[in-house]
Structure 1
Amino acid sequence: MKGDIETYHENGQWKNKVEGRSRAANTAATKAEATAKGREMAKDCRAEHIIRNQDGKIGERNSYGNDPRNIPG
């Protein structure tokens, strides 16, 4: 799986989608459940996890991979 993971709300469900794909990878009844699934996906892929609020705005971002801004010092 390549690409960042996005957790978002659509049609009454919370979903996780891999960047660049047209369909959700999974769905959940609650934001907390979807966020947990998305976090695991992002960790497995060493990717960025983008968590959107119900209104679609980005609420949180977490990086679990090769973040160029996170250079060890």
Structure 2
Amino acid sequence: MGGKKNQIHVVPNEDGTWANKKPNAKRASSLHQTQAEAIDSARGQAKREGNTEVIIHGRDGKIRNPNTYKRKDDPRKTKG
């Protein structure tokens, strides 16, 4: 199964807001007033879509923290 991971980038906008954006997308998936709101939204979207990596950028644009999420109903997920 595996396959290629989807990605959602949490990136700053020039106006101080934060956007969730997929690679090669012309527009953001969603816009948020704070980075924390954008991260929460991106994580929720990643969990719904499954096999999706959330890549968080800092205000300087550098990657801070990547995380991969699988859907809750993913049979590959182990309990622990």
What is the CA RMSD across the aligned residues, in angstroms? Answer: 1.7
Where in structure 2 are there 5+ consecutive unaligned residues?
Answer: 71-77
Q: CA deviation at 1:24?
A: 0.3
- Is the CA contact (8 Å cut-off) linking 1:3 and 1:20 kept in structure 2? no
Tell me by how many angstroms 1:20 deviates. Answer: 2.4
Q: Which amino acid aligns with 2:62?
A: K
Distance between the aligned counterparts of 1:52 and 1:28, measured in 2? 14
- Secondary structure of the 1:38 match is helix
Task: Write the distance in 1 (CA, Å) between the matches of 2:43 and 2:23.
Answer: 14
SS where residue 60 of structure 2 aligns? coil
| Aligned with residue 33 of structure 1, among 34, 37, 47 | 37
TM normalised by structure 1 equals: 0.79
Q: In the alignment, what sits opposite 1:68?
A: none
Q: Which runs of 4+ in 1 moved over 4 A?
A: none
Give, in whole Å, the separation in 2 of the partners of 1:17 and 1:5: 6
User: How many residues were matched structurally?
Assistant: 65
Note the residue ranges of structure 1 that are not aligned, 5 or more in a row: 66-71
- Greater Rg, structure 1 or structure 2? 2
Percentage of pairs with the same residue: 37
Range with bigger deviation, 16-25 or 32-41: 16-25
Q: 1:50 aligns with which of 40, 51, 55?
A: 55
